[in-house]
Amino acid sequence: MPRPRKCRRIRGNPSQELFKPNSIMGRNLEIIQLNDDEFEAVRLRDLEEMDQNTSAEMMGISQPTFHRLLISARKKIADAIINKKALKIGKE
C-alpha cells in the first residue's frame, strides 16, 4: 500500500487558468493539465529563482519530490509550446 500523499503548500495563484496558441481555436486543441503543485514548483524555481532545497521546504515536501514535480511541469509546458496544445492550470 502506498504512503498517503503529503499536503503541499501552494502560495502562488495563476492569473489565468488556460493558455492556448493564438492561431488555433480552443475546441480544436488538445489540453494538457498542469497541476497546482507543478505550477508552484515552476514558479518558485524559475520565476522566484529559489534553489530546490528552499523551494521544497516552502512547499513542505522533500527535495527529490520537488525535483520530480519540476521535471514533470517543464515537460508539460514544453509539450504545450512545441506541439501547439492548450495548457490548463489547476485541478481537473
Per-residue pLDDT tens digits for 53-89: 999 999 999 999 999 999 999 999 999 999 999 999 9
- As a whole-number percent, the residues of the chain with pLDDT over 70 amount to 91
Determine the average pLDDT of the residues in 40-61. 95
Residue 4: its pLDDT value, please?
A: 75
**Is residue 11 helix, strand or coil?**
coil
Global confidence as pTM:
0.84
Residue 2: its pLDDT value, please?
A: 76
Q: What is the dihedral of CA 25, 31, 37, 39, to 10 degrees?
A: -30
Closest C-alpha to 36, from 59, 65, 64, 62: 59
